[in-house]
Structure 1
Amino acid sequence: MTVVAEALKPLPALHAQFGPPRVILSATGRTDIMPEQIEAFRFNLLAGKTLRESVINGTDGTPDLIIRCASYIDPVTRVVRYAVDYWSVLDYYAIDTTVRAVSEAMYEGVVRGEFAAPTLRLDLGRFTRGLASFYDVTDVI
């Protein structure tokens, strides 16, 4: 099956087929990796390749929220993994999987979820034209 066909499956079906995502970073400190490995994962994820990104900038022009889908090298296994990296001025977390299609579906879910239930206080103008006006940068339509 192609990556495109996999990405069209609903997220629960993808998780059933490929397994649930792994929490690698969390503001709460609860992750599925060893605590002593967190900094290595953070470094590798930040150095990874951004595949997709959605951003909300604050009034000062700097990002208040960044959601990205990225590929990175797992520092323990040395294999490529795909992550959804969520960072805001209020929270952060990253979840990953071995399958890009699963990561892409999770990314779109997080981007749409933030629009449906915003975690930031935003002016009403951001809600006038859907995702296009909500995010300053997005590739989800």
Structure 2
Amino acid sequence: MPVYYEDVEVGDVETHGDYEVTREEILSFAERYDPQWFHTDPDRAAEESPYGGVIASGWHTAAMTMRLLVEGTLAEAATVGAKGVDELRWPEPVRPGDTLRIENEVLEKVPERPERGLIRARTRTYNGDDEAVFSMIGNVMYLRRGDD
């Protein structure tokens, strides 16, 4: 049963995920989309970067977060896309071997049109040490049930 705009409440919090990040995935994503040396060259990154090794691109972290968000919170949601994100942050790097999970908290509901409303939610991604590695506020359009 789909989750509509009316079913979502400000303050709702959901946690999802168990996504293991691999070295190969980090290197592959970076080679294709963010080919900076500290994402693509493990030997040099280990020796020269302040991170002590290769780290995931922030955009890769955003993509992994989106995967967890879709598989969890949005899997049953009657969404029709998003208007964007606010406050995009990468407070800590993601490393090979990290296991990621997300926490999604509904901050605000805005009834935009008779057929849809906007849900503003803060999504935080955590690694296995419970360190926040990513955060954003998503502006997601949800269909309204239409029976009001």
Q: TM-score, normalised by structure 2?
A: 0.26
Greater relative contact order (Cα 8 A, min sep 6): structure 1 or 2? 2
Larger Rg: 2
TM superposition score normalised by structure 1: 0.27
| Structure with a larger share of its residues in strand | 2
Between Structure 1 and Structure 2, the one with more helix by share is: 1
